[in-house]
Amino acid sequence: MLPFAWLVWAAFANQLGANPAEALIRSLGDWTLRFLVIVLAISPLRVIGGWPALARWRRMLGLYVFFYACMHLLAYAWFDMEFDVAGILADIVKRPFILVGFLAWLMLVALAATSFNRAIRTLGAQVWQRLHRLVYAVAGLAVLHFFWMRSGKNDFAEVAVYAAILAALLGWRLWRRFRPAAAGAPGGAGRQPSHGNG
């Protein structure tokens, strides 16, 4: 919660620059993406580093992704749109980067709503795992949202960094899934499903 606490303090202390509303909206979006990267990095770190205990943090960190995404959406609705619902809906339809960001948020709602143990028991482990693979679609939409948002200023350096990191994390998963030795190796096709989103 420290990034959020700092942003709230900075807003009240007038430390967010000449356009504090824009700085707050973008900073909340940046932290959403950072926590998403952290969540997707847990499985590679757990496997490569031999740290199985990291898996216990994945669900909690996933909820922080949802929290920061909600704060990002709330700041946009409040400071940019003044809670004008009709204006927000029109903006979603009119601007592609708002649309993909909103779609990513809707997917996060589904993931957050099924993040507890009772949901796993109700849906079944396999259905729950398939649903939580939406996190990969969220990652793609988040990068696309960021790319389109920065395209107006022709500033893609930071977008490229996040895109490269997420591509590496997702590429690692594809390599693990389709490598030739996967069927007979630990963690391959014979692996039992676990309560995580990979």
Please report, in tens digits, the pLDDT of each residue of the chain (198 residues total). 999 999 999 999 999 988 999 999 999 999 999 999 999 999 999 999 988 888 889 999 999 999 999 999 999 999 999 999 999 999 999 999 999 999 999 999 999 999 998 998 999 999 999 999 999 999 999 999 999 988 877 778 899 999 999 999 999 999 988 886 544 444 443 343 444 444
Q: Could you list the residue range(s) of the whole structural domain that residue 88 is in? A: 18-177
Q: Assess if residue 195 is contained within a domain.
A: no
Q: Assess if residue 140 is contained within a domain.
A: yes
HEC string for the chain: CHHHHHHHHHHHCCCCCCCHHHHHHHHHHHHHHHHHHHHHHHHHHHHHHCCHHHHHHHHHHHHHHHHHHHHHHHHHHHHHCCCCHHHHHHHHHHCHHHHHHHHHHHHHHHHHHCCCHHHHHHHCHHHHHHHHCHHHHHHHHHHHHHHHHHHCCCCCHHHHHHHHHHHHHHHHHHHHHHCHHHHHCCCCCCCCCCCCCC
Q: Assess if residue 157 is contained within a domain.
A: yes
Q: pLDDT at position 181, please? A: 58
pTM metric for this prediction: 0.86
Q: Assess if residue 10 is contained within a domain.
A: no
* Domains: count for the chain: 1
Q: Assess if residue 64 is contained within a domain.
A: yes
Q: Assess if residue 97 is contained within a domain.
A: yes
Q: Assess if residue 122 is contained within a domain.
A: yes
Q: Assess if residue 198 is contained within a domain.
A: no
